[in-house]
Amino acid sequence: MNWKDLIVMKINYVTGNKGKVKLAQMILANYPIEIIQRDIDIPEIQSLDCHEVAFHSAKDAADRLGEPVLKNDSGLVIEALDGFPGALAKYVENNLRAEGFLKLMKDVENRTCYWIEVLAYCKPGCDPVLFTSKTYGTISLDARPLRGYPYDEFFIPKGDTRTFSEMTEEEQLSCFDTKAYHELAKYLEGLEE
């Protein structure tokens, strides 16, 4: 049976980032889930921990909308910097850019890191359910600015020698850990039974 013959669950994805919505739609295309972007301003707590940020912002969004929501928080976790920048990745990216960030890493030998993505599904009045993916890699010694975001210029996914900036969108997607999306889909299918 084709999933399109089934009842489709609609999920309010609360984000202003169209790229996040497109990614979720691509990964979840084989499930009976329709992702609907809801661009509303939800305050985020300040924490290095993406789990905490996703938890609180999903709970707030679900209670404000009065409907189930999906929220996402992601960040870059660098072992040698005790997890920094973590959930503050966007702030650091916007202010330091790739060159400034690499200056911060200049004398750091351990360049191991991972990109964490936490999906939080929440119904109004309930605590969110969290799903986590981690894409492991290293920080390059130099910026390779071809396309994408500043972190793409120096994040080298495990098993490759190129930065995300040097890859096509399809190549980048094949490197990402998408486990959280599949776990979310299975969880949602269980709710429908």
Q: Report the C-alpha gap between 14 and 71 in whole angstroms.
A: 6
Catalytic site residue 73?
Answer: yes
Q: Report the C-alpha gap between 128 and 115 in whole angstroms.
A: 21
Q: Report the C-alpha gap between 109 and 162 in whole angstroms.
A: 19
CB 27 within 8 A of CB 185: no
Burial of 71 (0-12, 13-18, 19+ CB in 10 A): buried
In one-letter notation, the amino acid at residue 8 is V
CB 163 within 8 A of CB 144: yes
Active-site choice (73, 107, 127, 142): 73
Just list the catalytic residues: 73
